[in-house]
Amino acid sequence: MILSPRELAQLRHLELLAQKIVKGQLHGTRVVARGGPGSGFREHRAYHESDPLRAVDWAAFARTDTLVVKEFDAEESLDLVVVQDRSASMRGAAATCAAKLTAALGALALGHMERVRVLPTGGSRPAEAFSGRARMPDLLASVEDSAAGGTDLLGALSARLPRTGGGGLAFVISDFFDPSGATRALSFLLAHRYRVRAILIEDPTALAPPPRGPARLVDAETGATLRLDITRPSIGLYEKALRARADGLAAFCRRTGTGFLRVRAQKPFFEIARECLARGWLGTRG
């Protein structure tokens, strides 16, 4: 089982907290941001490349010189999608943290969301949907049995996310070492009207640079090798690049209204899940 008996007890405590947060708010439906005839204006959001030009609020553009799209309120079923990165770079502590967090978030949502879909990036089977607390054992088993694969978050979403629906919640749990770009999967979900939360999992032990001197480095994602002479300046450049990568992802999330959380892989999963609950990320408007 992906969660030990002690961790299941911690999860039950989190369930009580989640029930308090969403009590009286969710009964299988919610107000979501979606365009539609007769629905009321809700707010603006940043324009994405996939949006049709007719969706742009040109009056707002004239005032602000910024491309934005109007969003509207409509009643729609509430789904949760959890994308679990199962790539080669997500191994050890990072893989364990991502799997347990995926299981916890899915389990917490079973009580008040119509469907919970767990979408691991490995394997080829479609994202499985779960409904109701009685399906918790099946959800936990699904997370544990997921096969490993490469980092192609956008490919996994494009191939395995149902084409119907949209407008629910989506968590992407990853180290975001995606050769195709860290933000493409997030943009895909945003374009399909999901409220997105990106959780960046980092393992300081795995990311630590090798000792100074000659080294042979192997890319965990592609298998490509590189021989370098590790020096103090090169270590400084590497650490700067790591910070820039995380800062760039955080800036994208701020710009698009995407929730962003950066955590160490060694942090207990229930503490991360509790922070998500505290932020309102599993509620109706968080």
User: What's the pLDDT score for residue 30?
Assistant: 44
User: What's the pLDDT score for residue 75?
Assistant: 44
User: What's the pLDDT score for residue 76?
Assistant: 46
Alpha-carbon dihedral angle through residues 173, 250, 165, 116, given to the nearest 10 degrees: 30
User: What's the pLDDT score for residue 123?
Assistant: 59
Q: How many residues does the chain have?
A: 286
User: What's the pLDDT score for residue 192?
Assistant: 87
Q: For residues 64 and 29, give the distance between their C-alpha atoms in angstroms, rounded to a whole number.
A: 34
User: What's the pLDDT score for residue 199?
Assistant: 98
User: What's the pLDDT score for residue 240?
Assistant: 94
Q: For residues 237 and 276, give the distance between their C-alpha atoms in angstroms, rounded to a whole number.
A: 32
Q: For residues 107 and 8, give the distance between their C-alpha atoms in angstroms, rounded to a whole number.
A: 10
Say if CB 27 and CB 47 are below 8 A apart: no
User: What's the pLDDT score for residue 90?
Assistant: 87
User: What's the pLDDT score for residue 145?
Assistant: 64
Q: Which residues of the chain have pLDDT under 70?
A: 22-42, 49-52, 71-78, 122-126, 145-151, 163-166, 284-286
Chain-centroid distance of CA 228 in Å reads 34
User: What's the pLDDT score for residue 165?
Assistant: 57
Q: Write down the pTM of the prediction.
A: 0.78
Q: Tell me the chain's radius of gyration from C-alpha atoms.
A: 20
Question: DSSP states of 2-57 as a string?
Answer: -S-HHHHHHHHHHHHHHHHHHTTT-SSEEEEE---TTPPEEEEEE--TTS-GGGB-
- Comparing CA positions, the residue from 214, 172, 174 lying closest to residue 195 is 172
**What's the mean per-residue pLDDT of the chain?**
82
Domain coordinates of the chain in residue numbers?
5-26+78-204+259-278, 29-76
pLDDT tens-digit readout, 250-266 = 999 999 999 999 999 99
The CATH class, in words, for 5-26+78-204+259-278 is: alpha beta
User: What's the pLDDT score for residue 35?
Assistant: 46
pLDDT tens-digit readout, 168-210 = 899 999 999 887 777 999 999 998 889 999 999 999 988 888 8
User: What's the pLDDT score for residue 101?
Assistant: 96
Question: DSSP states of 260-281 as a string?
Answer: EEEEETTS-HHHHHHHHHHTTT
| Distances in whole angstroms, Cα of residue 71 to Cα of each of 26, 32, 64, 234, 236 | 21, 9, 17, 46, 44
Q: For residues 272 and 157, give the distance between their C-alpha atoms in angstroms, rounded to a whole number.
A: 24
- State the DSSP code for 246: H
